[in-house]
Amino acid sequence: MTATTTSPRVCTRCIMDETVSGITFDDQGVCNHCHIHDTLDRLYPLNDEGHQELLSIVEQIKRDGRGRPYDCIVGISGGRDTCYCLYMTKQLGLRPLAVHFDNGWDSEIAKTNLRNVLEKLDVDLHTVVADWEESRELTNCTIRASLPYIDMTDDVGIVSALYRTAAKEKIRWIIHSHSFRSEGINPLKWNYMDGRLVRQIIKRFCRIRLKLFRNVELRHFFWWIFVKRIRTFTMTNYYNDVGPEIDELLKNDFGWQETGGWHFDNEIFGLACYYSRVKFGIDWRICEFAAWVRTGVMTREDALQKMTETPEIESQEYVDYGLKKQGISPEEWQEILAAEPKYFTDYPTYYPVLKLLSPLIRLLGRLQILPAHTYEKFFKT
Ligand SMILES: [Zn+2]
């Protein structure tokens, strides 16, 4: 008897393969993520019709903001996509307030980029700074819970910063810069989060008393959406944000600098990516490179080749820096990597409730009340 090793099956169109949780293939070998891309591409076409829709939503945002200092909020990290999104809001004549969530891991380059872009675009900034001790402990809670997405509580902090600032400043619109064309959509199992999951993780794994952290629960969303009537607009769906032209524009107009690695505007990404890849076999780049193949800015061959190279942000130096900053000893780290991987499905969450609400979530996404791709992410990946 001979043992045979088989390579994971790869989509015939992009590069998504069987290492991607929840992947399915059609008769032609094309994956469900390619089909999601095509669905969203039909919903948000980059043609005259799509542009007219963009202009009409922008007009509505302006009308809703009349008499107030700002008409929308743009979440900004100092990275390429958020900086370009802020630039686009100004190009369209909007009056944004930039909101930044500082989790203590901003790189110096990201801070400089942020400053330059805000100054040149003449946009006000509101920064929400996380308490470092709490922020570090929350990240360690997710690691102790053996979940793949260690910056989960940072995303809670971002959502909280955006909505709570919008509610306080009476701003009706939050503009998102997630792009299915340039980032793809991560599988649900890799980075699902909700308020109940976060609460459970804190209850089971937190070793300090949290005084400042504010979770985001379903009831908060109901309050913000139905009482405060805050809406979200995934503006990136309506313009072309792929390719090197965007980077060139940012460099020429704003002195924007590369952060030295894939999404390295936030330096915890070195540790986060290493942890996910080594412990879970998750390489986050696959979604983004697959998206670039679909939009034609990278060839399938180049993307497959790139995936064989270890990302530069996962160097020993960056991982050690991350561990030191998190206060994790080398021995603890080995135990963490060896512990059984867990996913959101191993903990109590709101997901079963959200599944029942899926038709409503689809409708709210299409009405620009929830982020546009929420339904696809939750129920198609
Ligand atoms: Zn595919």
Residue of 340, 7, 346 lying closest to 192 (CA atoms): 346
Domains of the chain (ranges; CATH) run: 47-281+315-380 (3.40.50.620)
Whole-number Å distance, alpha carbon 112 to ligand 1 midpoint, is 36
Which residues have a Cβ under 8 Å from the Cβ of 268 and sit 6 or more positions away?
103, 105, 139, 150, 151, 154, 322
Whole-number Å distance, alpha carbon 24 to ligand 1 midpoint, is 9
Whole-number Å distance, alpha carbon 337 to ligand 1 midpoint, is 30
> Above 60 in pLDDT, residue 214?
yes
Does residue 215 or residue 366 have the better pLDDT?
215
Whole-number Å distance, alpha carbon 122 to ligand 1 midpoint, is 40
Whole-number Å distance, alpha carbon 361 to ligand 1 midpoint, is 24
* CA distance to 64, 68, 233, 235, 325, per residue, from 71 (Å): 7, 7, 12, 14, 38
Whole-number Å distance, alpha carbon 54 to ligand 1 midpoint, is 28
Residue of 117, 129, 63, 64 lying closest to 90 (CA atoms): 117
293: left (phi over 0), alpha (psi -120 to 50) or beta: alpha
Whole-number Å distance, alpha carbon 216 to ligand 1 midpoint, is 33
104: left (phi over 0), alpha (psi -120 to 50) or beta: left
Task: Pull the structure tokens for residue 271.
Answer: 């540790």
pLDDT reported for residue 260: 64
Angle at 227 between CA 174 and CA 235, to 5 degrees: 20
Cβ(181)–Cβ(291) below 8 Å? yes
Q: List, for residues 296-340, the tens digit of each pLDDT value.
A: 999 999 999 999 998 888 888 889 999 999 999 999 999 999 999
Whole-number Å distance, alpha carbon 284 to ligand 1 midpoint, is 15
> Above 90 in pLDDT, residue 375?
no
pLDDT reported for residue 263: 62
Whole-number Å distance, alpha carbon 178 to ligand 1 midpoint, is 19
Whole-number Å distance, alpha carbon 22 to ligand 1 midpoint, is 12
pLDDT reported for residue 238: 94
Within 279-357, where are the H helices? 285-295, 300-307, 316-326, 330-338, 351-356
Whole-number Å distance, alpha carbon 21 to ligand 1 midpoint, is 13
Residue reference for tokens 């709101």: 350
Which residues have a Cβ under 8 Å from the Cβ of 87 and sit 6 or more positions away?
117, 121, 249, 250, 253, 254
Please state, in angstroms and rounded to a whole number, the distance separating the CA atoms of residues 263 and 250: 16
Residues 187-212, mean pLDDT to the nearest whole number: 95
Within 145-284, where are the H helices? 152-169, 188-191, 195-205, 218-222, 244-254, 268-275
pLDDT reported for residue 2: 46
Whole-number Å distance, alpha carbon 277 to ligand 1 midpoint, is 20
Please state, in angstroms and rounded to a whole number, the distance separating the CA atoms of residues 312 and 260: 9
Whole-number Å distance, alpha carbon 20 to ligand 1 midpoint, is 11
Residues 203-207, mean pLDDT to the nearest whole number: 96
Residue of 68, 86, 38, 78 lying closest to 235 (CA atoms): 86
- 10 DSSP assignment: B
Whole-number Å distance, alpha carbon 152 to ligand 1 midpoint, is 26
Whole-number Å distance, alpha carbon 30 to ligand 1 midpoint, is 5
Residue of 228, 101, 239, 92 lying closest to 169 (CA atoms): 228
243: left (phi over 0), alpha (psi -120 to 50) or beta: left
Label residue 266 by pLDDT band (50, 70, 90).
Answer: confident
- 369 DSSP assignment: S
Whole-number Å distance, alpha carbon 46 to ligand 1 midpoint, is 21
| Helix (H) / strand (E) containing 259 | none
Angle at 276 between CA 5 and CA 283, to 5 degrees: 60
Whole-number Å distance, alpha carbon 14 to ligand 1 midpoint, is 4
Whole-number Å distance, alpha carbon 26 to ligand 1 midpoint, is 10
Whole-number Å distance, alpha carbon 37 to ligand 1 midpoint, is 9
Q: List, for residues 48-95, the tens digit of each pLDDT value.
A: 999 999 999 999 999 999 999 999 999 998 888 899 999 999 999 999
What's the whole-number average pLDDT of the chain?
A: 92
Whole-number Å distance, alpha carbon 298 to ligand 1 midpoint, is 14
Sheet (strand 124-129) strand order: 124-129, 96-102, 72-75, 173-176, 231-234
Whole-number Å distance, alpha carbon 303 to ligand 1 midpoint, is 12
Whole-number Å distance, alpha carbon 377 to ligand 1 midpoint, is 15
Q: How many CB atoms lie within 10 A of CB 360?
A: 13
Whole-number Å distance, alpha carbon 144 to ligand 1 midpoint, is 33
Q: List, for residues 126-172, the tens digit of each pLDDT value.
A: 999 999 999 999 999 999 999 999 989 999 999 999 999 999 999 99
Label residue 261 by pLDDT band (50, 70, 90).
Answer: low
> Above 50 in pLDDT, residue 205?
yes
Please state, in angstroms and rounded to a whole number, the distance separating the CA atoms of residues 371 and 180: 11
> What SS3 state is found at 255?
coil
- Residue 39, amino acid: T
Cβ(106)–Cβ(265) below 8 Å? yes
Whole-number Å distance, alpha carbon 191 to ligand 1 midpoint, is 19
Whole-number Å distance, alpha carbon 297 to ligand 1 midpoint, is 15
